[in-house]
Structure 1
Amino acid sequence: MRRPQGGCGRGRITQIAPAGFVIQRLGGGFANPPRASESWKAVKSYYVYYGEEKYPFEIPPGWTVLKNAVSSEEAAPSLTIPEMVEKALAAPISSPRLSEIVHEDSKVALIVDDWARSTPVSQILPTLLEELQAGGARSENIDIVVALGTHRAMPREALAERLGEAIFQQYRVSQHDCQAEGLVPIGRLSTGGEARINPVVARADVKIGVGSIVPHPMNGFGGGAKIIMPGVSSFEAVKEHHLHFTPQPGCYIGNLETNPFYHEVCQVAEMAQLTFIVNCVYNPREEVVDVVAGHLREAHLAGIERSKENYAFRLDEPADVTITSAYPYVEGPQTIKPIIPASLLATKRGGSVIIVVTCRDGMPEPLLAAFDAIYSRHPEHTGRLAVDTFKSSQLFVEGAIDFNCAIFYALVCAARNSITMVSRDLDERSVTRLGFRYASSLEKAIERESRVRPQATVNIFPIGGVVLPLTQEAPNLCE
């Protein structure tokens, strides 16, 4: 789960981590700074994030940094989240106010994302419900639907925490089941399959999506219409859509204009008649710095432009080596996402990616077992295998679509680059089963790489999970 709104522990003491990790919590000083290896003397210190903590490192003198994507991470939000929500609801983008849309008899579905996202739902809902009540909407006509997509259901305690205990107790709350009988047909996908959605959402007169705008590897950006597709869609529709479009040209992080994955998601949301969205915009520390509300496309686009101001940057050329962090992703398959821009956009083919990963619950065994099966049958040409598998509408492992997307990108990126994972949460066996190399510390990973590449260009992404490199060329998954 990515962490919700909050500070990053300013002023806390330095932690000396095991396995050679030396970590600085934000606002603290270094205790026992890392020493350069005797084999080379480093010339400048940089950092990436390991969880919420700064992990300092140094680079060899023969390495040249092309881009160090350090942003204005110290910029703090000027308003509280409820204040931002109130401001957004008072001036929605390309839409009337919600209080003008609803009436006493309106059936309302509040569709919120699940615990895989950082959206501070409990801080958004009270103000949103006040706006609905100002228009006459009655609490007995309001349903809250958790848009699980194809994810597992949340336990009661997590639901109450996400929504707020009072709201959880007062309103009808349900979790979407993508395999349930009774999902309602709303039209056809462009690929021919039937689009079906949650019946509570389908029956509602007013459908409101609550989510977050962050870079997304296939959709360009998260948030917006994704609350419907995959959020409350059927498993078969999500499978058909994701497997067909993920390998297609244009379906990559930050791209919307020529992205068929994104356009199909929007079309499904329009078929579902999504009325209104409320989406959060973040700074690189995962603090909410703005909220947009209104029309599903126009408000989303406005939020994207504001998001780009926080973490988009021009990347003039790929490097031999990219050093990145999985932060703010800390859950199993989600930690693979930050490898995607590092590999496909920032690193030369045949180059190396070093990623620092916090993975507090480890990698799920079914995911690792799927990699075992793939590599035992297909030890070579795994990138081509990944593309061909998705294009033939096959899954690597039955069930969770996010597992399959993680496998797809892991295979594609590992075929393109040498990937090294640095982690104290994952052991060497788990990392090698993914097809990656393991290092117990970032210093060891860099030193090993410097022996192979004494002269190298480097890109550095301190917060790799929310970066948006803007490049001249689009990635080609099939090359």
Structure 2
Amino acid sequence: MRYSIPYGKSKLTFEAPEERVIFTGEMRAIPKLNDIEASLIQAIDNPIGAQPLRMLAKDKKNIVFLIEDGTRDTPLSIMMPVITDYLNRHGVPDCAMSFLTAPGTHRVMTDEEIIEKLGPNMVRRFTIRQHDANIASDMKDLGTVSTGDYTIPVHVNKYALEADLLIGLGNIVPHSDAGFSGGAKILQPGVCDFVTTSATHAAAGFCPDIPLGMVEGNPCRRGIEEVAKKANLAFIINVVKNYNNEVAGIFAGDFLSAHREGVKLARESFKVSLPKLADIVIVSSSPADLDYWQAEKGVTSAYFAVKEGGIIIFVSPCFEGLAHNHPRFREWLSLPLEETLKRLRQASPEDTEVDIISAVLAVCNSRVRNRARIFSVSEGLHPEDIEAMQYTPFPNIEAALSEAFAQIPQATIGILPKGGISLPILES
């Protein structure tokens, strides 16, 4: 039978014996919101765990919106005109509102990406600043916070801290370090430096397993939220989408309680129920296609769907290669798990040359690698990247699947077409 999976904005098709395919990655059909604008007004006027936004914004002179970069797909070009016009109607002028991009340690956005993200009218109306984790003079030291016995230095962009009302926007999807994205994550790592982000992510690296879908009891998530509390993140507006990339829910209010309500819907929206684990999992990283830093989410999803000793066929264009701002990522990827963990325990978040964030992503990659062999189909990864990752490259899915059958002749197959947002759950 012929199957297809996303590859960037196109699709790749392949033949596979239908009787061998035990799951195809379907998610529950969560209905979309019929009126996003009305639902958004309802959410910000009746928030969870906070006063209505109009009351919080009263008499404020410097409202700052933290917005995601191009690696996320919250429909800000639809939402922001509604939010800013709502605040205008309640007495807040445009001059009292501005935007700060929150890319974490990713590269800064291009002008075209900002226009695409917000829409040309927003770009004309408002001041937009870009956070760059490399610019030390933009950061302010707020001391430390703790998650358990682990201490996290807190360095936050000064433009965020100067706000008299700090609002974070984003979406909620499964995340391999923080459990789920959204909530306080727009602030940390969104507008923090490499030191703070290294410290919170290191906590995820020490978890006994990959904490995908885990928010409570997750030291990384707890660290992120302690940093946001220190920085006075006052209000969030998060969306949850369905499998078809349509907005299914909007959650606004306190960054803890509103986020947790959103997680409930996200868990249902992105869950892939598995009857059993597959010998071979074919996974697209979609919609996380920009580079491997994002696309590794697909490998992580497959980890929860493949049998021990199985094979993962990882499919992603990785348009921008391995990663930005992380020159040691390839080196960390080349190490075995125990060596990575050893070096991670010895490293200080203050030593940015170590690149702890890369080490944590490498821990995740190593855990997957220890469970299954990984074949890759990607035009954007260079041979030296693939060698360091210890993947086996193939020109197409058919070639990879043929070799997988040669190694496991009676293999069962699982397909995850949206691996970048999937939360596989074994229904036993």
Would the TM-score normalized by the shorter structure come out above 0.5? Answer: yes
Give the corresponding residue for 1:238: 197
Give the corresponding residue for 2:314: 355
Map 1:65-464 to 2 at 5 A.
65-71=21-27, 77-178=32-133, 179-181=135-137, 183-190=139-146, 191-249=150-208, 252-315=211-274, 317-332=276-291, 333-343=293-303, 345-364=304-323, 370-371=329-330, 375=334, 382-393=336-347, 398=353, 403-426=358-381, 430-464=385-419
Output the aligned Cα RMSD: 2.9
Shift of 1:156: 2.7
SS of the aligned residue for 2:265 comes to helix
Give the corresponding residue for 1:27: none
| Aligned partner letter, 2:300 | I
| Aligned partner letter, 1:161 | E
SS of the aligned residue for 1:125 comes to helix
Q: Is the 8 A contact 2:332 2:359 kept in 1?
A: no
SS of the aligned residue for 2:420 comes to helix
Residue-pair matches, total: 422
Shift of 1:185: 3.5
User: How does the TM-score come out when normalised to structure 2?
Assistant: 0.88
Residue 299 and residue 364 in structure 1: after superposition, are their counterparts in 2 closer, same or farther (change >3 A)? Answer: closer
Residue 394 and residue 456 in structure 1: after superposition, are their counterparts in 2 closer, same or farther (change >3 A)? Answer: farther
User: How does the TM-score come out when normalised to structure 1?
Assistant: 0.79
Rg larger for: 1
Q: Is the 8 A contact 1:250 1:258 kept in 2?
A: no
Q: Any idea what the Cα deviations from partners look like across 1:92-128, whole Å, max 9, x if unmatched?
A: 2222211111212443111111122112222211111
Residue 165 and residue 60 in structure 1: after superposition, are their counterparts in 2 closer, same or farther (change >3 A)? Answer: closer
Q: Any idea what the Cα deviations from partners look like across 1:248-292, whole Å, max 9, x if unmatched?
A: 236611111221111221122122221111112112233333222
Q: Is the 8 A contact 1:104 1:135 kept in 2?
A: no
SS of the aligned residue for 1:143 comes to strand
SS of the aligned residue for 1:82 comes to helix
Q: Any idea what the Cα deviations from partners look like across 1:360-397, whole Å, max 9, x if unmatched?
A: 2333598787536864xx5xxx1222222322236999
Give the corresponding residue for 1:51: 8
| Aligned partner letter, 2:343 | T
Residue 158 and residue 60 in structure 1: after superposition, are their counterparts in 2 closer, same or farther (change >3 A)? Answer: closer
SS of the aligned residue for 1:338 comes to helix
Partners of 2:125 and 2:353 in 1: how far apart? 37
Q: Is the 8 A contact 1:50 1:327 kept in 2?
A: yes
SS of the aligned residue for 1:410 comes to helix
Q: Any idea what the Cα deviations from partners look like across 1:294-328, whole Å, max 9, x if unmatched?
A: 11112111211122222213335433221111111
Residue 135 and residue 351 in structure 1: after superposition, are their counterparts in 2 closer, same or farther (change >3 A)? Answer: same
Partners of 1:52 and 1:334 in 2: how far apart? 16
Moved more, 305-314 or 421-430: 421-430
Q: Is the 8 A contact 2:205 2:364 kept in 1?
A: no
Residue 245 and residue 441 in structure 1: after superposition, are their counterparts in 2 closer, same or farther (change >3 A)? Answer: closer
Q: Is the 8 A contact 1:250 1:259 kept in 2?
A: no
